[in-house]
Amino acid sequence: RLNAAKTKAMMVSRKRKPPVLEIFINDQPVSVVRSTIYLGFTISADLTWASHITQVCTRARRLIGFISRSFRAAGPHCLSRLFRSLVLPVLDYGAAVWDPHQAKYIVQLERVQRFAARTITGNWVPDATPLLQRLKWQSLESRRQYIKLTTCHRIMVGNSLIPSSIFQPHPRPSTGVSTHAVC
């Protein structure tokens, strides 16, 4: 039996004014939401990753603040390890799915890492690039690229729960007319 109080409905649409949705379970209305969290991903009704990326950045910044407050006496090496252990998994989780292609979201994510580099080193210079190089951190964008490539490789070699057959080209139906020369 479905519990109407725990059930949410979301109308997926790119329209500015999506149609009004009214769903009832056992004569009780189901609440309609604009976004929901499923398996750690924020899925929005307009099918963009903007709210997910914002939530990931917020969660990562909070963790960076927690690390800097809780481990004030620790050195940069220890803080860097804490960042890689606690914050990077938040920034990398599911990146093969939601990796942004728009520059504003790429920059938003990179700002988190630059904030972490400044916090860890205690050096609040305007350009954090030398800090990232000194900490030997690669950009989050290149990390996501690597994650996508390794995920694709695992699927193709059969080392994944996703069957590789979904990536195989399907034969086109024959039209009865051959376009190839016969020798």
On the 0-12 / 13-18 / 19+ scale of CB atoms within 10 A, 176 is exposed
- For residue range 73-123, what is the model confidence (pLDDT) as tens digits? 999 999 999 999 999 999 999 999 999 999 999 999 999 999 999 999 999
Q: Within a 10 A sphere around the Cβ of 102, how many other Cβ atoms?
A: 12
| Whether pTM exceeds 0.85 | no
